[in-house]
Amino acid sequence: MPSCSAKCGRNAILKRPKTSDVLCKECFFEAFENEVHFTITRAKLFTPNTTVAIAASGGKDSTVLAYVLKLLNEKYDYRLKLLLLSIDEGITGYRDDSLDTVKQNRDDYEMSLKILSYKDLYGWTMDEIVAEIGRKNNCTFCGVFRRQALDRGANLLKVDYLATGHNADDIAETVLMNILRGDLARLSRCTSIITDSGDGIPRVKPLKYCYEKEIVMYAYFRKLVYFSTECVFAPNAYRGHARVLLKDLEKIDPTVIMNIIHSGETMKVSETSKMPKLTNCTRCGYVSSQEICKACVLLEGLNKGLPRLGIGKSSKVKRLLKENEEKNKSSGICRGEEDKTCLCSGTDSMKPVKINELVLKELRI
């Protein structure tokens, strides 16, 4: 058995996927934790005496994130108050089980836990949305709603930061996807370690440089409890292609993951490129590049029996809204204020879609 390359005198039991170093368990833990600490301090991710909500899905990444943040917080006296925030998308046989894991983490790590559900926030579970839209585009709904739900949760909890478990593979995949799609706006911000959620609560990614394989290894050797089942609904097809490509490249040379992130970080979008201007959604007030944010358009579509409304380009959405408006006007369907099915401007349906205010009030702590 080879000896640990950190020269601690112990036998090596693993080969680090990121560096190919052969290490013993203890030296691997130290290397992994030191790298996260270095990432946090170099990017000045947190200021002392603040509160951090850890977005906890029960999966390996957010479980390792919660564990390592707690460990580093105590070891280096970051003076952070850590708590867990989970979103229950309402996916039977998936999220209900993974939330049990989060509850276990809550007890093991002695952190408080807040769970917000899509049903309470939007009036729909993902099971119900999939029954409407089918399995093909459901990831669009889930992703858009989750992003906003996490921001709303962070606001309710009045935290200073929202930390997510996005890892190096996730970020490299996103860079590839944005290049393949030619999405310059997203490309220019997808590698940022701190992003603005739009409500003034920064989102941070302390595991940005951690390889997925090492996160799995870390969780395994630390015997952490996490939930490893894939979502029961169809995976995001486009991300799937980027993922397969990245995994194939990683087999040839593991440094490609860091190289892609580095390329994304240093790439500069030409000043002549047209970038979307950020504004606030006229309905819910959430930050958006459109007059009405994606979540409100998707919700409107669901509530009006047009679930495909927000799928695809914004020009298509505008066309659909216009077509629907003309159709309703010519058929005399629109009956103004009392009409709950009409998409005409000026009717009830164009009033801001308020996320169930009562529920939010109740959840505030």
Ligand X SMILES: Nc1ncnc2c1ncn2[C@@H]1O[C@H](COP(=O)(O)OP(=O)(O)OP(=O)(O)O)[C@@H](O)[C@H]1O
Residue 100, marked binder: no
> What is the rounded (10 degree) CA torsion for 123, 126, 132, 137?
130
Nearer to ligand X, 224 or 293 (CB): 224
Nearer to ligand X, 95 or 283 (CB): 95
Nearer to ligand X, 167 or 324 (CB): 167
Nearer to ligand X, 59 or 198 (CB): 59
Residue 61, marked binder: yes
The residue nearest ligand X at its CB is 59
Which residues are registered as beta bridge partners of 55?
85
Name the minimum Å distance from CB 338 to ligand X.
37
**Rounded CA gap, 308 and 273, in Å?**
30
Contact 203, 162 (CB under 8 A): yes
Name the minimum Å distance from CB 91 to ligand X.
9
Name the minimum Å distance from CB 251 to ligand X.
21
Contact 203, 195 (CB under 8 A): yes
Nearer to ligand X, 24 or 355 (CB): 355
Residue 56, marked binder: yes
**Residues forming the site for ligand X (CB under 6 A):** 55-57, 59-62, 86-87, 89, 146, 164-166, 170
Residue 349, marked binder: no
**Rounded CA gap, 241 and 195, in Å?**
25
Contact 289, 277 (CB under 8 A): yes
Alpha-helix residue ranges (DSSP H) falling in the chain: 25-42, 60-75, 95-109, 118-122, 126-133, 138-156, 168-181, 184-189, 212-221, 237-252, 256-266, 294-303, 314-331, 357-363
Residue 55, marked binder: yes
Name the minimum Å distance from CB 95 to ligand X.
6
Sign for the pseudo-dihedral over CA of 228, 143, 148, 350? negative
Name the minimum Å distance from CB 129 to ligand X.
15
Residue with tokens 């706006």: 185
Residue 57, marked binder: yes
Residue 66, marked binder: no
Q: Which residues define the annotated binding site?
A: 55-57, 61, 87, 165, 170
Residues that constitute the known binding site for ATP? 55-57, 61, 87, 165, 170
